[in-house]
Amino acid sequence: MEKFDTLVLSGGGVRGFVVLGALQYLQDTGTMDGITTYIGTSIGSVISFLLIIGYEPCDIVIRFIQFKYLSRIKPASILGLLLKGDGILRYDDFNEILTEMILLKRDNVPTLEEIEKDYRKNLICVTYNYSQKKEMSLSSETHPKINVLDALRMSCNLPFIFSHFQYEGDHYFDGFLTSNFPIHKISSTGHAIGITAEGTMCLDTDDTLDFWKIIWNLFVTPMQELQSIKNAPFLDRCKIIELDMNKYSFLDYKLSSKNMLNMYSEGFSKMLSIFNLN
């Protein structure tokens, strides 16, 4: 079976459960044994980190179901959203969940430098520095002392969904704004496998175009075109797995346990069929 040294995971909100199913197949077949570099945007960076510290993909799904993690992410203040532009969900709730999961595997919350030292693996989180108007990669090389929870927050901080976040005076937003599937971050010698469940990033239940779907697609299309241009020179060094899951909303934080399992199973089955064809 083909071997890889780099894993690239896209953003996609709760569609990450589909990615976890696909990753479980790769784990079971030993395809990920040679992975030393993990690159992710948004939830892709979170999954990458959890894999590095020792979680199996199925373990992550089990914990989210068993401990009802998604139900712990509560709506934020509507007043704060209207007056200050804060998000509609409390990121602090998600931060607490990640902290719990970290402390089950180690005694402290590591920096990016400590992750590389302790696990001999490199985590790269893609984010957008709104203050400087540029995409940034957070890694042990560029930001060795940053706390991993801050790095993940910077990569996941989707505008209007989560509240503003500053690090060293700069505002950071979700890397989705410039690169939701950051294949262009692989090294010049890397051999990568990239998994994306981003789809159209909205819930497609039919072929009609309502007002909000048009607005959303007009917002997203230029970003996807820019991403395609940036990724094009790297496609010959990355096996891309596209998991089309548009029937699931990427922001459905009330996702049922049944649907979590369905998404996980669909991801596993999709990956199985792809590799069996090759």
Given the residues 45, 174, 179, 249, the one annotated as active site: 174
Chain mean position to CA 110: 19
Tokens 């998600």 map to which residue? 94
β-pair partners for 116: none
Count other C-beta atoms under 10 Å from residue 228's C-beta. Answer: 12
Cα angle 261, 41, 25; round to 5: 40
Catalytic (active site) residue 174: yes
Tokens 């969940």 map to which residue? 97
What's the CA gap between 262 and 29, in Å, rounded? 21
> 9 CB contacts (<8 Å, ≥6 apart)?
19, 38, 39, 40, 41, 43, 44, 45, 47, 48, 194, 195, 196
> 182 CB contacts (<8 Å, ≥6 apart)?
8, 39, 40, 41, 124, 126, 137, 175, 231
Given the residues 10, 42, 140, 179, the one annotated as active site: 42
The H or E element containing residue 112 is helix 112-119
Chain mean position to CA 173: 13
Q: Give, as one character, the DSSP assignment of residue 69.
A: T
Spatial contact of 32 and 52, defined as CB atoms under 8 Å apart = no
Spatial contact of 137 and 148, defined as CB atoms under 8 Å apart = no
Catalytic residue IDs: 42, 174
